A and B are shown apart, each in its own frame.
Chain A
Amino acid sequence: MKQDKHGKNHKFGMVVDLDKCTGCGSCMVACMSENNVPFKEDESRKKDSITWMRVYKITNGKSFPETEICYMPRPCMHCGGKGDHGHSPCVSVCPAVATDYDHSSGIVSQIYTRCFGCRYCMGACPYHARYFNWWDPKWPEGMENYLSPDVSPRMRGVVEKCSFCFHRYQEARDRAYVEERDDIEEQEYQTACTQACPAGAITFGDLNNPDHEVYQMVEPDAHNCGKPKNPKAFRLLERLQTNPKVYYISEREWVRKAGDNYLEGEWEKVKNNHGNDHE
């Protein structure tokens, strides 16, 4: 569904202030609890541990006591793809249209009942944001009682990932419609992780709307696929041109450098614009 009515489209995105993130894990659990994410007896095999939002720990690689660490929360990046036209890596390879790019919100969907589990999208995603249900989810007896009707529980054999809490967007739109408003307010649609973060490290909003905080924080360059003009902001693997809608901010240069893989000497050339010259 292409709705390119100019100026009307949203482009929902997220900004994570890595200098505020303490790695506490509230976002991960808020996400699991909001989205009916199941759990197994052993979740220490991280490759099959379903975490739509996962907090990675990175280090600067220096030895004691020069060591530094930083936590990096990673939801689905909701990539716009090359040229920001909606050709996200996963959407491009899905043979079942089970994952699709919504041009009106910029959100990459995942429709479980269409997915037949080929996992091409998992191979295509450079961010490891997608997870496969190798088993049927099993809630211990009685715990089905806390499942939310807003998000359908998944079944064995399908891929799942962060949806930017799309059901919250639908709910906000429904409310706006009932109240005869044309559009929703910034605070009406916030993801569960944003809401829960006790450090206030996550900001969520419309990257197309200059009034929104996310826009002011990163200053996305509309003529350059949304690349941040703020030199302290960066996106993961910027040079793949996946054009993620999740931005990170840090005062620490080594953290910003960790956002992509650079050859020797390459970082110095791009560090203030992360390759803003595009090609």
Chain B
Amino acid sequence: MKVDRRSFLGLGLGAAAGVAVSPVAWKLMDDSSIWTQNWPWTPVPRDGEVTFDNTVCSLCPGNCGLSVRKIDGRPVKIEGRDDYPVNTGGVCLHGVAGLQYLYDPSRIKSPLKRIGDTFEQISWDEALELVATKLAEIRDAGKADSIACVTNHGMGTVPGLFQRLLTALGSNNFLSMDTMDKAWEKTLEKMHGVHGTLGFDLENAEFILSFGTGFIEGWGSPVSNFKANSSRKERGAALIQVEPRLSNTAAAADTWLAANPNTEADLALAMANVIISNNLYNTGYYVSGFGPGFDELAAMLKENYSPEAVAKTTGIDAAVIVDIAKRFAKSNAPVAIAGKGKGSTPGSAREFAAVHLLNCLAGNINTKGGAWILSPQDYEQWPAVEMDEVASQAIEKPAMDPAGSVAGFFAKAGAEKTVQALLISDANPCYALNDAKAITKAVQDIPFVVSFSSFMDETTRQADVVLPSHTFLERTEDLPSAAGMARRVTGLATPVIAPVFNTKNPGDAILAIAKAMEGTVGESFPWESYEECLEAVTGDLWSDLSDQGYAAVQETAPATRPSVDFSFVAQNPAPVEAEGTEADFSLILVPLDNVRIATGSVASSPFAVKTVPDTVLAGKDSLVEMNPETARANKLSQGDLAVLETPKGKATVKVNLFEGIMPGVIGMPRGLGHAMEENRYVSGKGVNINELMGPVMDAASGLDAAWGIRAKISRA
């Protein structure tokens, strides 16, 4: 057939028309777009019945109530529990991201035993037997007092079981991580002669004077504080923030007093001076409660802390000091708070006492909107521990650190190498304590280390045996409120899902270890399971705990008004200085706490890391914050790579310029630089500031009072 021009065009047009009307082309295009969007690796989440389970979060001491949305029994979303008295529906980002901890593939999936530098999976029976045998050996060798235990916090029945095990073995070396709680306890002992803890009624306070706290950055009970801050406007309550950097708290405050670093105590003492010399202190409390040392204090303040003199130390105008002091004293419900950043480290006794002095002078002790002196939590009703001769003798030996400081304990453990065994539960001292490298060395020197962690964190990496715990979403546990909350609420965490991996509740692990040890140790633990123990020990609280998921232990201020002993402050204790000399290190490095980065025993979740701005973390580099003036003086500009050096170490960082930080001060975010290789979303990002800072032990309290360290920086 001859193809002429006419038939060519005819056939061509016919074909074009045919293709156009035929659905085949459209169908193929549609199919291909559907096909390219249905890759087998794009998950299709299963649907099912929606249910909600309540539990309590234990990622931080805030202990918020959570409501977990489940589909067909599978948890898919964490929300705040609306009817929970701490957080009433609100929730922080770490709690919301809880499921990322639960399903984290880098979790420890079964008990482990160290073989050289690696771990081998073993069965629970073998692991528990191993620990029980080793502890019995140490005990039989007459070294029961050389067994130690470090938990994240000391409250509730799980830490209670650890402490009980140590007592039954014959050791006093039970410690919880150092936080501002310990500093408040020491303050109460010094100023009121009572043993207890301090809570602050911030939701009713009318004048909040914060000395460097991260009031809305994770200090105390974070969500409760966010709410107290939000209601300030309606209540007409003022917030004054004292800090050398414009933190989020300073930004939210009515007044930001940019005092020089480490002059918070001086400022508080100058304000106390103003209050006393103008007779603005609470006269009722003066008559009933002011004890020894008041006249000496007044004289000491008059001599050393005049507003004019302190204006020079702090850089705050004398008139401002006088004005704030007067407004504080005249307010109906003033409260002064201390504890830098999240309060995850203790501070100096001088600073805490100076701040609490303002509370005492204002007479707001145990009043609405004031500072509440709370007796130690005592709802737990433990039966007496059975003590054999070994235990009774060993327990007479004093604790390794008389002040009860973990930093002090590890310093001594590293120097004397007498600790034979260490149990670690929910704590990560090899990361979270100052001079993390020295702590790691001290832990390495302990012959037998048992970790109860859910994650292969820095401390667990050093363990000889790992008995992995349930995460908070798989656990039953009572969680008393702590850390600066005035109202006392004890929550009950209940599992929202069966354990994802082969883990145990640490309470059950302790019971099993004790039972494997014969004699009085085993006899001290008469319960079949942790749940049975919890129900028995929580006593009166149990019905509320099990019915509503929490028990309100105390709603109103305690009725007493303990007397005030002013002698400690009147002695004018010396400030705790930063390590290093000004000649070698002209700048000051301070840690920056931010609520988006977890700093405690658990690392941040992938979601939390995602929220961290690129002015804090860029790729694997930490950015340090400095004033443009500081940068100019050190020949640095935005984004430069620089070497930051302190007396404790060196790190390469990037520079972020921020007008809101005092010239001469460098700020470095805390909570970065984790070394948890299996978790690449979180690990290896940035620098751990605890490797650049060392502890500075405060002679007055025996606690680590480091608030910063001298430093220098130069272009890399």
Contacts and interface: CB of A to CB of B under 8 A. Distances in A.
A25 B595 contact: yes
B612 A44 contact: yes
A32 B76 CA distance: 12
B93 A63 contact: no
Interface string B79-106: 1100000010111110011011011111
Contact of B103 (A62, A143, A198, A201): A143
A118 interface: no
A57 B613 CA distance: 9
Interface string B215-230: 0110000110011011
Interface stretch (A8-16, A153-161, A268-276): A153-161
Given A41-B680, A153-B45, A25 B93 contact: yes
B681 A39 contact: yes
Contacts of A69: 246, 248, 251, 660
B95 to A, nearest CB: 8
Nearest to B617: A44
B619 interface: yes
Contact of A33 (B595, B607, B618, B680): B607
Interface string A120-157: 00000000000000001111111111111100111101
A65 B316 CA distance: 11
B90 A199 contact: yes
A42 to B, nearest CB: 6
A91 B39 CA distance: 27
A19 B233 CA distance: 9
Given A49-B610, A69-B251, A142-B105, A199 B227 contact: yes
Contact of B627 (A25, A45, A64, A154): A64
A22 B229 contact: yes
A176 interface: no
B258 interface: yes
Contacts of B89: 195
B659 A153 contact: no
Nearest to B256: A65
A59 B91 CA distance: 26
Interface string A36-74: 100101111110010100010101011111011111000
Contacts of B227: 198-200
A219 interface: no
Given A33-B607, A64-B661, A146-B99, A24 B226 contact: yes
Contact of A62 (B44, B92, B659, B681): B659
A176 B103 CA distance: 35
Interface string B586-616: 0000000001100000000011111111110
Interface string B602-642: 00001111111111011100000001110000000000000
A112 interface: yes
The contact size tier of chain A is 35 or more
Nearest to A71: B248
A244 to B, nearest CB: 23
A148 B97 contact: no
A185 to B, nearest CB: 15
B52 to A, nearest CB: 13
A12 B527 CA distance: 56
Contacts of B99: 33, 143, 146
Contacts of A63: 628, 659
A29 B96 contact: yes
B607 A146 contact: no
The prevalent SS among residues of A at the interface is loop
B34 interface: yes
B302 interface: no
A19 B96 CA distance: 23
Contact of B45 (A23, A30, A144): A144
A43 B43 contact: no
A42 B613 CA distance: 12
Contacts of A137: 42
A25 B608 contact: yes
B42 A143 contact: no
A254 interface: no
B235 interface: no
Given A24-B92, A140-B105, A36 B45 contact: yes
A27 to B, nearest CB: 8
| Most B C-beta atoms less than 10 A away, residue of A65, A116, A143 | A65
A113 B34 contact: yes
A153 B46 CA distance: 12
B611 A28 contact: yes
Interface string B664-684: 000000000000000011000
A140 B43 CA distance: 12
Nearest to A96: B33
A149 B233 CA distance: 40
Given A39-B606, A64-B661, A26 B75 contact: no
A51 B609 CA distance: 12
Nearest to B663: A64
A151 to B, nearest CB: 9
B93 A26 contact: yes
Contacts of B662: 64-65
B91 A145 contact: no
A44 B42 contact: no
B74 interface: yes
B481 to A, nearest CB: 16
A33 B614 contact: no
B103 to A, nearest CB: 5
Interface string B235-269: 00000000000101001100010100000000000
B609 A144 contact: no
B97 A29 contact: yes
28 contacts: A20-B233, A22-B226, A26-B90, A29-B611, A30-B96, A43-B610, A44-B612, A46-B613, A49-B610, A62-B659, A64-B246, A64-B258, A64-B660, A65-B660, A68-B251, A116-B33, A136-B41, A140-B106, A142-B105, A143-B103, A146-B75, A153-B43, A153-B45, A155-B38, A192-B77, A198-B226, A200-B90, A200-B230
Interface of A: 19-20, 22-26, 28-30, 32-34, 36, 39, 41-46, 49, 51, 55, 57, 59, 61-65, 67-71, 112-113, 116, 136-149, 152-155, 157-158, 192, 195-201
The 6 A-B pairs of least Cβ separation, nearest first, read A198-B90, A29-B93, A198-B226, A67-B660, A147-B45, A65-B258
